[in-house]
Amino acid sequence: MTENPGRFIYVPSADISVVGHRLLLGMNYDQSQKEIVRTKEQGEKLSILTPYQFRGFLRYLRDSEIPEDQEVFRDITQLGLPSRANWLNARFEKRGSEMYMISENVLEKGGYVTKEQRLEDFLEQNETFESSLNNWINSNTPHGLPSLKGSKGRLCFWHPESGKAVGFWANLRTAYLHCLFPPSGEKTLRHGVFAYAEGDVTKK
């Protein structure tokens, strides 16, 4: 993908502006969270996209008629080499019998907050769930993860596990929404992030 530093993509449905290229390459999840609060684009504070925001971003890119937006969509989702991976702003924590999704350093009214959400209607068995990429992008689950219903396809969803973080990964064979990545440590697959600023900064 051709990087265009400084280019923002405004997503009206979420009222956020997403940087049009990956940032913080070669970092694990914990490192990305520490660095994002120190990273600015055109002077704007940034936050890593949550699964819900990332799904909405993909929906906007897919439906956009702007060639540069289509290029970003292909770079994220198209099967092929080299593999491309993106951290999403979510990790999981089991509390008793319930699973929570925790998103840190979420931008809200110019400041950073932590948000927690109790998960419902999600796959929690130790197996791979195959779903259509478009079916997931079109879905409206409040957590941004695929529902248990959906057509077969080439998006593999790996279930949430306590203590693990979320990444979206595309390679030669398939695309993964992977909820089993360790957030830190030498064995963590290295990713980049797509980050956003609040509001429509394309008009500034």
| pLDDT attached to residue 159 | 84
Per-residue pLDDT at 133 exceeds 80: yes
Domain ranges of the chain: 8-203
Q: Please state the rounded mean pLDDT for residues 131-145.
A: 88
The residues, any chain, with a CB within 8 Å of residue 65's CB and separated by 6 or more, are none
| pLDDT attached to residue 127 | 44
Q: How many Cα neighbours within 13 Å face the side chain of 45?
A: 13
- Output the six-digit token pair for 123: 């796959």
Determine the Cα–Cα distance for residues 166 and 133; give it in Å rounded to an integer: 16
Greater confidence (153 vs 7) lies with: 7
Residue 118's beta-bridge partner residues? 100
Could you tell me the sign of the dihedral formed by the alpha carbons of 130, 133, 135, 139, in that order?
A: positive
Give 189's pLDDT tier (boundaries 50, 70, 90): low
Determine the Cα–Cα distance for residues 24 and 22; give it in Å rounded to an integer: 7
pTM score of the predicted model: 0.91
In tens, the pLDDT along 11-47 reads 999 999 999 999 999 899 999 999 999 999 989 999 9
Q: Which residue has the tokens 């809200």?
A: 108
Give 191's pLDDT tier (boundaries 50, 70, 90): confident
Question: What would you report as the CA-atom Rg of the chain, rounded to the nearest whole angstrom?
Answer: 16
Greater confidence (201 vs 1) lies with: 201
